[in-house]
Amino acid sequence: MALGSNAMRVIFLLAMVVCAAHAGKPAPKEKEKGKDDKSGGAPAEAPSGSAGGSGSSDISKLGAKGDGKTDSTKALNDAWSAACGKEGAQTLMIPKGDYLAGPLNFSGPCKGSVTIQLDGNLLGTTDLSQYKGNWIEIEHVDNLVITGKGTLDGQGKQVWDNNKCAQKYDCKILPNSLVLDYVNNGTVSGITLLNAKFFHMNIFQCKDMTIKDVTVTAPGDSPNTDGIHIGDSSKVTITGTTIGVGDDCISIGPGSTGINITGVTCGPGHGISVGSLGRYKDEKDVTDINVKDCTLKKTSNGVRIKSYEDAACVVTASKLHYENIAMEDVANPIIIDMKYCPNKICTAKGDSKVTIKDVTFKNITGTSSTPEAVSLLCSDKIPCSGVTMDNIKVEYKGTNNKTMAVCNNAKGSSTGCLKELACL
């Protein structure tokens, strides 16, 4: 398994290098890190708690100071090693207070199950030279819980100016805040993620994950501050979560299957997106995505599926279901964009190798801030198929134009939609 993971990282690393001539938003951080993936040795013996029972490691008893200034990195990493190194139900306690921290390496596998009880706030150091990759990185852990009313504050405001990704493809990527790699059966609940330097949460190679009652907040103009990105993961549920950021609220990347998003409010931001697809070699398919009972407020997109026209791989997105979605003043409420090209730095033409099929939009209502409430911009080479539009009633609120749908190369059917939108 460790070997498989290593091989995978190498492939991702290669894909990154091979595709470095293409354009757009960079991949999530772990796709380019190629770091040692061994996770054999158990962490150091714990100072407290008994084997087989339950116990806790409190960072304030390991030297952390909640004064917002003292570097508590070592106490946090030590507390993780202690909790992860013991059998039974272990808790890593982060009490009330503001704890300044550099990179946190919370690696497993753990002997028991670990709960991170976040009652206080962690502040990510703004000294970029301290980071090798991400800020809080949790890897190879089963049965993880992160809960509490505390905040993971990336303090991104002070470093966003260093982000040159809009100008340069191979830009230096700033640290993502909370990275979960190879985590199975995990729950993140109650916490707030604030002002990440790059993505707020990145879920990669995980299974059976629940994100519940989480708040994600960054300014609408902060660069690449995606809320939650999911890639190469299965059975991920995001529920009761409020996200307002400078990029996608949720993005569902290649290799995502069985993803359920319910009760999410998004705005500001770029919406709830599948993709982008086709940017890298060896991307895996996306299937069984359900987005239900969500609200989008003043976002640049509502529900979006995006893929590169000049794709680097053959990939399919299928069984995507959107239901009961309320749009408030959204610029592109429903959009399939198979000619996605952020910042206009991709080569325009190419054989599309991306397939988008079996997509249902049902009961989507509210207002659009542009005339085009529905845009199905599918490829002339591989048209979208099996697209169902059922009860779509999104109206342009302006007075200088009328509500319209632009549908290119899309096949399927519409029922019960506003007549201007019934383009299938």
Ligand X SMILES: *[C@@H]1O[C@H](CO)[C@@H](O)[C@H](O)[C@H]1NC(C)=O
Contact footprint for ligand X (CB under 6 A): 35-36, 38, 43, 105, 107, 113, 132, 143, 145, 185, 235, 237, 258, 260, 290, 324-326, 363, 365, 371-372, 400-401
Does 321 participate in catalysis according to the annotation? no
Nearer to ligand X, 95 or 371 (CB): 371
CB of 21 to ligand X, least distance (A): 29
CB of 276 to ligand X, least distance (A): 23
User: Phi and psi at residue 65, in whole multiples of 5°?
Assistant: -125, 125
**How is residue 362 written in tokens?**
């049902």
Going by the DSSP 8-state scheme, the letter that residue 22 receives in this structure is S
Nearer to ligand X, 157 or 235 (CB): 235
Nearer to ligand X, 283 or 328 (CB): 328
Q: Report the distance separating Cα 351 and Cα 156, nearest Å.
A: 38
C-alpha distances in angstroms, 225 versus 68, 173, 176, 205, 220? 23, 11, 9, 21, 9
> Which residue's entry shows tokens 């995978």?
8
Nearer to ligand X, 40 or 167 (CB): 40
- Inter-residue contact 278 to 253 (CB < 8 Å): no
Nearer to ligand X, 265 or 365 (CB): 365
User: Which secondary structure element, helix H or strand E, spans residue 3, and what is its range?
Assistant: helix 2-18
Given the residues 200, 229, 270, 321, the one annotated as active site: 270
- Inter-residue contact 145 to 116 (CB < 8 Å): yes
Beta bridge partners of 89: 113
How many other CB atoms sit within 10 Å of the CB of residue 419? Answer: 7
Q: Report the distance separating Cα 419 and Cα 214, nearest Å.
A: 38
**How is residue 278 written in tokens?**
């086709």
Beta bridge partners of 394: 366
CB of 350 to ligand X, least distance (A): 26
- Inter-residue contact 183 to 209 (CB < 8 Å): yes
CB of 371 to ligand X, least distance (A): 4
- Of 127, 123, 141, nearest to 42 by C-alpha is 141
How many other CB atoms sit within 10 Å of the CB of residue 235? Answer: 16
CB of 136 to ligand X, least distance (A): 12
CB of 140 to ligand X, least distance (A): 9
Q: Report the distance separating Cα 313 and Cα 239, nearest Å.
A: 32
CB of 347 to ligand X, least distance (A): 26
User: Phi and psi at residue 170, in whole multiples of 5°?
Assistant: -90, 55
- Inter-residue contact 268 to 288 (CB < 8 Å): no
What is the four-CA torsion angle of 335, 336, 339, 343, rounded to 10 degrees?
40
- Positions marked active-site: 270
